[in-house]
Amino acid sequence: MPQVHTYPSIPKSILLPIDFSPSSQTALDTASDLAEHYQATLFLVNAVPCLSEFALTYSVPDVALQRKMKTHAEHLLAKCHAALTARGIKSSYSVEVGNDVAASIIDVVEREHIDMVVISTHGVSGWHPLVFGSIAEKVVKLVQCPLLLLHSPNPETHSKSPSSRSMEWW
């Protein structure tokens, strides 16, 4: 009989996929409130595209650009980590490299033994969801732990700013 992993009703570790968009800003506010309330560790993850997979067979992948994107994401995540630490919230973060963001998120959930995922419905993916489908939708279908899906306005149709209680994370 296969072993079934049960998740605690009170999370000890919460994962937040973050792309530094206004909707992920709002999700960070919510996830940090949950982590504070449950005294859980908040794990932030950002995915940087693996440019070599996009490169044509006759072109050279721009490794410097990928390194710059990863360094920039690490810098922003470090700022978030510092703000969380100042609030007394335990946190850690990672930058994943890969073109399947949903798979990267699921890998982190399994690797870090995450108890809960908080994710927003709209980020900075632009035309990508029209062709490949929503990252949040894929995570909802694949994740095995409890998930809090935060509906946020479509960035193309609403210019709503984060809530007034929102911290300036980046």
CA dist 10 and 14 (Å) reads 10
Query: Average pLDDT for residues 149-162, to the nearest whole number?
Result: 60
Separation of alpha carbons 110 and 103, rounded Å: 11
Has residue 64 been placed in a domain? Answer: yes
Unique residue bearing structure tokens 């960035």: 155
Residue 112 pLDDT more than 70?
yes
Segments forming the whole domain that contains residue 140: 15-150
Q: In a 10 Å sphere around its CB, with 0-12 CB exposed, 13-18 middle and 19+ buried, how is residue 123 labelled?
A: buried
pLDDT at 159 over 50: no
Residue 142 forms part of a structural domain: yes
Burial class (CB in 10 A: 0-12, 13-18, 19+), 96: buried
Please give the average per-residue pLDDT across 22-29, as a whole number. Answer: 92
Which CATH number goes with the domain that contains 144?
A: 3.40.50.620
Model confidence, pTM: 0.79
Residue 122 placed within a domain:
yes
Q: How many structural domains compose the chain? A: 1
In this structure, is residue 29 part of a structural domain? yes
Residue 103 located in a structural domain: yes
pLDDT at 51 over 50: yes
Is residue 169 a part of any domain in this protein?
no
Mean pLDDT score, 56-74: 77
Residue 65 falls inside a structural domain: yes
